[in-house]
Amino acid sequence: MSIIQISANQLKQKLEGSVKPLLLDVRENFECEIAYIKGSLHIPMNQIPQRLNEIDSSKACVVICHHGIRSQQVANFLEHSGFTNIHNLSGGINAWSIECDNSISRY
């Protein structure tokens, strides 16, 4: 199985739907202080293995980072750990800011 890449616009459509995915933000604390998608679950990348129990495996999960590289690594780890229905936000929160919500700061 491979991780599904999702664009910022595709994520926006999913968030406007009736069944919303879990947004898992794996950036560092200081990054979330600069830019953050409301409602995201924030678990820094290096804490994911110890905090797997906080991630609802029954929901579709979109993993988010700055540009989509770290989130891809976490998505692969989650899939290897038995999670299904995992997506990676292509372009990360930077793409989200450009394409969907320019009130979110870019850095």
What positions carry a catalytic annotation? 65
Contact between residue 104 and residue 25 where contact means Cβ atoms under 8 Å apart: no
Q: How many CA atoms lie within 13 A of 67 on its CB side?
A: 2
Q: Phi first, then psi: what are they for 6, rounded to 5°? A: -125, 135
